[in-house]
A = this chain, B = another copy of it.
Amino acid sequence: MGCKMNAAVSFLRRLSLFVLVSSLCSCPCRAEDSAMENIVTEKKAEESHRQDSADLLVFILLLTLTILTIWLFKHRRFRFLHETGLAMIYGLLVGVVLRYAIHVPSDMNNVTLSCNVNASPATLLVNVSGKFYEYTLKGQISANDVDDIQDNEMLRKVTFDPEVFFNILLPPIIFHAGYSLKQRHFFRNLGSILAYAFVGTVVSCFIIGLFMYGCVMLMKQIGHLGGDFFFTDCLFFGAIVSATDPVTVLAIFNELQVDADLYALLFGESVLNDAVAVVLSSSIVAYQPEGDNTHTFEAMAMLKSFGIFLGVFSGSFALGVATGVVTALISFNFTKLRDFPLLETALFFLMSWSTFLLAEACGFTGVVAVLFCGMTQAHYTFNNLSPESQDRTKQLFELLNFLAENFIFSYMGLTLFTFHNHVFNPIFIVGAFLAVFLGRAANIYPLSFLLNLGRRNKISSNFQHMMMFAGLRGAMTFALSIRDTATYARQMMFSTTLLVVFFTVWICGGGTTQMLSCQKIRSIGPDGVERRSTKHESAWFFRIWYNFDHNYLKPILTHSGPPLNATLPACCGPLARCLTSPQAYENEEQLKDSDSDLILNDGDITLSYGDVTVSTDAAGAHTSGTPVGGVAVNSDEAPDWSFPWMIRSPRCLWTPTGTGTRTKP
């Protein structure tokens, strides 16, 4: 009887839309127990799958809504809210609905076992009256969560495994950042960018950590602290909120065509400091002094942490670059692969993905490896791809980046209401906002001062203010903070981080246009570019790198650049002939070189080698030389999404005329 009803109900369910609850049949018919049990198990699995689909559908529809609204905003040229900010708002709304409007009766089948097990293995085999069921460990949950889990199945279901962010959503975002970093301005400002990203992030991390430790001490004094909060926790917080993500600001820069150097500084810094923050936070977690008290200072443990930082960072860097080089070599040697753009694109995608997996399998940081892989791919592999594949890879990663980014931000909004263990502490929150501000200031201003001592092209004070203002926190900060929310300290950090992200994305992101006009940072104009581009900073660094890259790496890894036997010493003749591609000889004359991402044209590099006074000669040689136009066209090939106006705009300046006027002052 019970079984019959159950079958009928199941048939009806098949046609109904959102059946969320599965009530198990507990019919007492003994005879067909085994068969019934199987059916019941199947039905349960089906329900669960249906529920998962519905949950994912919520997110997909959220993203769809975001896209449609964003289109409206772009169409009407509203700049006060970026798509990521909008995604957060929609996420918030859905979170409110899920939390307060929908109440799902509890599934009573979440049996709490109290077995005498003294371990929590990754795989658990449960013997239910002779039948074995396999369970996989999802994670530890705090005791006060146990009730929640049984209380609201729906909220728990829309909660993703935090590792999803690190293993699925962040890699395409970071790869895309690396892949679109190929800009002459990035390499020009490499020294400053590295300083901001490495020194700046570490400084910011420690400043924030110290300040927060002060806050925590204060909270302890007045009895506002509900659990342990150690100095390492504070440092960890410092590390995770030091990862800036000015995607909102850069989108507006792009639209308004703001100064290219400022863009390069901000973009380069934010990309690299993500990598630094990831490794830094994992090194802080790895800090484990011996002895009874695990939270005291100990030189050995700290040295070990530092060693881990260096080891993991350089390992990830090496791995990323290595895979990039391998891909370049494959695309270089399999030149006929160019006839099959699909194969080429697939190979490119797979190799880039395998960088991530390889790094993770080796215990390095996949996200960091992927970043450097993307940069290497853009610099070498991209030049070996067929034009169609260049478009395809660009568009593919652009799409993946767009989807992943908006997904993360909408999930951020959602999780403010659906996360169960929020710890909002007013003192900690106010302290965190102050600390974030202080940390950013301690990063930008002193470093800019020091850098300006060495830079010919100074970072002006309005640029510094803009960089200060553009220190938004985004996907990386969120992913790092949600990764571990087991302890009280981590939960408080997570809640606070969410607020920091919301505030910076909405307020700082929304105020970018105002800030730009307030700081009188003009849109890029003919004069603006020319004035800046004669001055080259970190010339010695740039020169060494350029020489090595142009003379050896490019010829080996791409079909552009001079033949190797022109650059290698005579004794290496046979080796050089063997390594140089036949196309390089053809290219030699016409200098079909993608170095245009590094230099304006060939004379320009002499310009940066020599003194400012001899520049007129170089430029003079140019305007009469042939390749200038060709190079300008060639720069089209570089994946310069971030500077689309350089290619498309009629104000594009990388032309002989520009070269001529540039040398005047």
Question: Are B304 and A11 in contact, CB atoms less than 8 angstroms apart?
Answer: yes
Question: Are B119 and A360 in contact, CB atoms less than 8 angstroms apart?
Answer: no
Contacts of A486 in B (CB 8 A): 38
Contacts of A35 in B (CB 8 A): 294
Task: State A589–B308 Cα separation when bound (angstroms).
Answer: 71
Question: Are A71 and B135 in contact, CB atoms less than 8 angstroms apart?
Answer: no
Chain A 563-596: CB-based contact to B (< 8 A → 1; otherwise 0)? 0000000000000000000000000000000000
Q: Which residue of B lies closest to A285 (CB)?
A: B42
Contacts of A57 in B (CB 8 A): 354, 357-358, 361
Query: How far apart are A226's CB and chain B's nearest CB, in angstroms?
Result: 17
Question: Are B115 and A130 in contact, CB atoms less than 8 angstroms apart?
Answer: no
Q: Which of A13-21, A206-214, A492-500, A620-628 is near enough to bind chain B?
A: A13-21
User: Which of B115, B138, B360, B403 meets A113, CB within 8 Å?
Assistant: B115
Contacts of A396 in B (CB 8 A): 395-396, 399
User: Is the CB of A613 closer than 8 A to any CB of chain B?
Assistant: no
Q: Which of A335-343, A450-458, A632-640 is near enough to bind chain B?
A: A335-343
Interface residues of A in 50-68 (CB under 8 A from B): 50-51, 53-54, 56-57, 60-61, 63-64, 67-68
Range for the number of chain A residues in contact with chain B: 35 or more
User: Which of B7, B19, B290 meets A288, CB within 8 Å?
Assistant: B7
Q: Which residue of B lies closest to A143 (CB)?
A: B132
User: Which of B32, B46, B119, B361 meets A50, CB within 8 Å?
Assistant: B361
Question: Are B363 and A14 in contact, CB atoms less than 8 angstroms apart?
Answer: yes
Given A53-B361, A357-B57, A398-B342: A110 and B121 interface contact (C-beta under 8 Å)? yes
Chain A 135-168: CB-based contact to B (< 8 A → 1; otherwise 0)? 1111111110110010000000000000100010
Q: Which residue of B lies closest to A70 (CB)?
A: B343
Question: Are A129 and B134 in contact, CB atoms less than 8 angstroms apart?
Answer: no
Q: Which residue of B lies closest to A145 (CB)?
A: B132
User: Is the CB of A658 closer than 8 A to any CB of chain B?
Assistant: no
- Among A57, A138, A403, max chain B CB count under 10 A is at A57
User: Is the CB of A518 closer than 8 A to any CB of chain B?
Assistant: no
Question: Are B403 and A346 in contact, CB atoms less than 8 angstroms apart?
Answer: yes
User: Is the CB of A75 closer than 8 A to any CB of chain B?
Assistant: yes
Question: Are A111 and B125 in contact, CB atoms less than 8 angstroms apart?
Answer: yes
- Subset of 14 A-B contacts with CB under 8 Å: A14-B362, A38-B486, A44-B122, A46-B363, A49-B167, A50-B363, A113-B115, A115-B127, A120-B133, A123-B138, A132-B140, A133-B137, A134-B138, A349-B403
